[in-house]
Amino acid sequence: MKGGWFILLIFLFDFNTPSIAQSSFGKEPYLVVLGTLQDGGSPHLGCEKDCCKTIDPDKKVVSLGMIDPVNGKRFLFEATPDITSQLKSLNQVLPGQKGYAPDGIFLTHAHIGHYAGLMFMGREAMNSKEVPVYAMPKMKMYLEGNGPWSQLVALNNIQIKPLSEGKWENISPTLKVKPMLVPHRDEYSETVGYIIEGPHKKILFIPDIDKWEKWRTDIVSLIKEVDHALIDGTFFSAAEVGNRNIAEIPHPLVQESLALFDSLPTKEKEKIIFIHFNHTNPLLDEKSDASKQLQLGGFKRATPNMRIHL
Ligand SMILES: [Zn+2]
Ligand SMILES: [Zn+2]
Ligand SMILES: [Zn+2]
């Protein structure tokens, strides 16, 4: 190949093009989906089934980035084991004022997919400086009282910002976040979902919850109060669980949620976006019957790099 042509081709196929393009919302804040999977990710350790035959770099554990372009702020919901590539993606969306560290990390609970990524803030990796980590009281105590997390606190790699149930946290002139306790297997911490409010929209984020009927809050009424709801879609149906006792993993099955939301008008159904998919979940495949059924019903599934206006 002649040199000139080669250089032209390099320009045509810009190898440095970020996986996430620049904002299409101008100066408005928005959320970007940085991961859609359940804690164990995909490929799931030990899975020999078709779902984990190949390695797909877009399959990452559940996480949201939150961008405030005017104030130059970038926040993260969840610190997943995939945090390294997720912070890289976030930096491609909006470069941080102080490098890769986000301006805050909101944690939902102490299950590996949701907080274990904090380890990369430590000396062995980023050695970050005072990254604000927003946590509920038990989560805060757990991090402060147990290594290796306590070392992140002692060395000021992270700075824990306490949250209280139902109390709004103003994090930028245009963004606020409110934690809501939800029922879940709370071995080391309580579990929360979040309401995220921007200048135009309110978003509900509940990646993990036990059955809806165990919650004091009525999810159907709550959906009416928000503009979008990113909710637990771990398993589509009981068929995925195999030999494991479903009582040990009591998520609302997507099929059950669809039945619960069936009577809602289309306008409400369109707000609902399922996320936190187990590696076995057919909703990970846009061509599956489950994905088609979801779409026909007017519901959505979260996909990598999906953006939601705030
Ligand atoms: Zn989870
Ligand atoms: Zn699998
Ligand atoms: Zn969990």
| 28 Cα: distance to centroid of ligand 3 (angstroms) | 31
pLDDT single digits (tens) 11-62: 443 333 333 344 467 789 999 999 999 999 999 999 999 999 999 999 999 9
| 260 Cα: distance to centroid of ligand 2 (angstroms) | 28
Q: Would the pTM count as exceeding 0.85?
A: yes
Q: How far apart are CA 296 and CA 290, in angstroms?
A: 10
Cβ proximity of 78 and 63 under 8 Å: yes
Estimate to the nearest angstrom the gap between the alpha carbon of 259 and the chain centroid.
24
| 70 Cα: distance to centroid of ligand 3 (angstroms) | 34
| 184 Cα: distance to centroid of ligand 3 (angstroms) | 7
Q: How far apart are CA 87 and CA 117, in angstroms?
A: 11
| 280 Cα: distance to centroid of ligand 2 (angstroms) | 5
- Which residues, by Cβ under 5 Å, contact ligand 2, an ion? 44, 47, 49, 51-52, 279
| 111 Cα: distance to centroid of ligand 3 (angstroms) | 5
| 115 Cα: distance to centroid of ligand 1 (angstroms) | 10
Sheet containing strand 175-181, edge to edge, reads 169-172, 175-181, 192-197, 202-206, 228-232, 272-275, 300-301
Report which bound ligand comes closest to the CA of 46.
2
| 114 Cα: distance to centroid of ligand 1 (angstroms) | 6
Running DSSP on this structure, what letter comes out for residue 232? E
The whole-number pLDDT of residue 241 equals 81
pLDDT single digits (tens) 219-247: 999 999 999 999 999 999 998 987 777 77
254 closest CA partner among 274, 270, 268: 274
| 55 Cα: distance to centroid of ligand 2 (angstroms) | 11
> pLDDT by residue for the chain (310 residues), tens digit each?
444 554 444 444 333 333 334 446 778 999 999 999 999 999 999 999 999 999 999 999 999 999 999 999 999 999 999 999 999 999 999 998 888 999 999 999 999 999 999 999 999 999 999 999 999 999 999 999 999 999 999 999 999 999 999 999 999 999 999 999 999 999 999 999 999 999 999 999 999 999 999 999 999 999 999 999 999 999 999 989 877 777 777 899 999 999 999 999 999 999 999 999 999 999 999 999 999 999 999 999 999 999 999 9
Q: How far apart are CA 170 and CA 161, in angstroms?
A: 12
H helix and E strand count, the chain? 9, 14
Cα distances (angstroms) measured from residue 9 to each of 1, 2, 14, 15, 165: 11, 11, 8, 10, 55
| 86 Cα: distance to centroid of ligand 3 (angstroms) | 19
Pull the structure tokens for residue 44: 């799931």
| 49 Cα: distance to centroid of ligand 2 (angstroms) | 5
| 74 Cα: distance to centroid of ligand 3 (angstroms) | 24
| 96 Cα: distance to centroid of ligand 3 (angstroms) | 29
- Classify residue 183 as exposed, middle or buried by CB count within 10 Å of its CB (0-12, 13-18, 19+): middle
The whole-number pLDDT of residue 14 equals 36
| 17 Cα: distance to centroid of ligand 1 (angstroms) | 31
- Which residues, by Cβ under 5 Å, contact ligand 3, an ion? 111, 208
Give the chain's mean pLDDT.
Answer: 92
Report which bound ligand comes closest to the CA of 50.
2
The whole-number pLDDT of residue 244 equals 74
